[in-house]
Amino acid sequence: MAREHHTKVLILGTGAAGLTAAIYAARANLEPIVIDGLEPGGQMTITTDVENYPGFADVVQGPWLMEQMIEQAGKVGTRFFSDIVMSVDLSRRPFEATGDGGDIYSGDALVIATGAQARWLGLESEQRLRGFGVSACATCDGFFYRGREVAVIGGGNTAVEEALFLTNFATKVSLIHRRDELRAEKILQDRLFANGKIEPVWDSVLEEVLGTDDPPGVTGARVRNVKSGEVSELNVEGIFIAIGHDPNTELFKGQLDMDEDGYIVTAPDSTTTSVPGVFATGDVQDKVYRQAVTAAGTGCMGALDAEHFLAENPAEAEAAE
Ligand code: NAP
């Protein structure tokens, strides 16, 4: 039977932003409820080595770091619910989120921390063979390519990190990039160029994933050089798409101001959105920095903004006391 759950601060998402918001809101006695959604722990759970999150002299693992954050948020009083939010109503307070089983979660303030998800190229063959050799997560699927050849598409930090990670398993990794210059940080580029197993394929795009349907599997990549027009085929059995992310903001369309890429617009130096009492944190509102540590920082801001908002705009029941 569907149930109702009320809190002062409702938080959607359990990545670094949502969990930091939860820690701060719980320590401010706001008894937050956090709903974890489709990817509990967020994008950090599909990464491996993390060496740029401050506080750890030695490399830590992304999933471990998120487990620690979840435990920390729970210890200070956060209530967690595993549910998929299907709709939200931001037209009045308390704001409401409805889960896929019909449960209703309401909050006097709402902190959105639903993050972002991997982007796909949109090729028919890519979608058909997704999960059968085409992946957006080397950490999740790299293990299956021991002793095989694979390709990674993209030229950013994610693509380079995935290519490096895949050299632990694959015999050869082709990094297919549409330009002749990488966007990734220099330290990662240096590691990439020093790794004999990785071969960059410059100025090239993936035209088609070659594969079989029965049983489903990838047998190659048809690649086109955008300068010469030349088409070639690579003998790879795995293709990892690493071309960036899109914000998970579909739920809020038409209710909050967003930019042309679907990111929620927040006021400068604040997590305030176009609806008073609704705050956006992490990758749903940041397309510039997009780091776990910046997501955590804006999560903290979201909780503090919610706390100030509730102090100035108490819920009706409290105002009447
Ligand atoms: P990104 O920086 O946006 O890079 C996306 C890459 O994919 C770019 O090289 C882009 O090419 C290419 N691309 C985009 N659309 C394409 C298409 N349709 N066809 C072919 N190529 C396409 O995304 P990201 O690498 O996922 O990184 C996202 C954010 O997370 C960044 O801020 C990054 O710094 C951060 N990050 C940090 C770490 C770390 O610090 N360790 C690790 C992972 C990610 P162009 O270069 O030509 O635009």
Tens digits of residue pLDDT in 66-76: 999 999 999 99
174-204: per-residue pLDDT in tens?
999 999 999 999 999 999 999 999 999 999 9
- Ligand 1, residue 50: give the atom nearest the CA: 41
Using CA positions, which residue lies closest to atom 18 of ligand 1? 121
205-225: per-residue pLDDT in tens?
999 999 999 999 999 999 999
Pocket-testing residue among 47, 119, 137, 158, ligand 1, by greatest number of atoms within 8 A of Cβ: 158
- Which residue in the list 49, 100, 140, 257 is annotated as catalytic? 140
Using CA positions, which residue lies closest to atom 13 of ligand 1? 243
Q: Would the pLDDT of 119 be above 60?
A: yes
Q: Check if the beta carbon of residue 203 is closer than 8 Å to that of residue 226.
A: yes
CA-nearest of 149, 115, 82 to 16 is 115
Pocket-testing residue among 162, 174, 179, 243, ligand 1, by greatest number of atoms within 8 A of Cβ: 243
Using CA positions, which residue lies closest to atom 3 of ligand 1? 244
For ligand 1, whether the C-beta of 68 sits within 6 Å is: no
Please confirm, yes or no, whether 300 is among the known catalytic residues.
no
92-106: per-residue pLDDT in tens?
999 999 999 999 999
* Centroid of ligand 1 to alpha carbon of 9 (angstroms): 33
Using CA positions, which residue lies closest to atom 30 of ligand 1? 290
Q: Please state, in angstroms and rounded to a whole number, the distance separating the CA atoms of residues 281 and 236.
A: 39
Instruction: Please state, rounded to an integer, the average pLDDT across all residues of the chain.
Output: 94
Using CA positions, which residue lies closest to atom 14 of ligand 1? 243
pLDDT at 320: 58
Give me the residue label for tokens 């795009």: 205
Predicted TM-score (pTM) of the model is 0.78
Per-residue pLDDT band at 129 (split at 50, 70, 90): very high
Q: Would the pLDDT of 321 be above 60?
A: no
Which strand (E) or helix (H) includes residue 9?
A: strand 4-12
Q: Is 185 exposed, middle or buried (0-12, 13-18, 19+ CB in 10 A)?
A: middle
- Which residue in the list 141, 283, 286, 305 is annotated as catalytic? 141
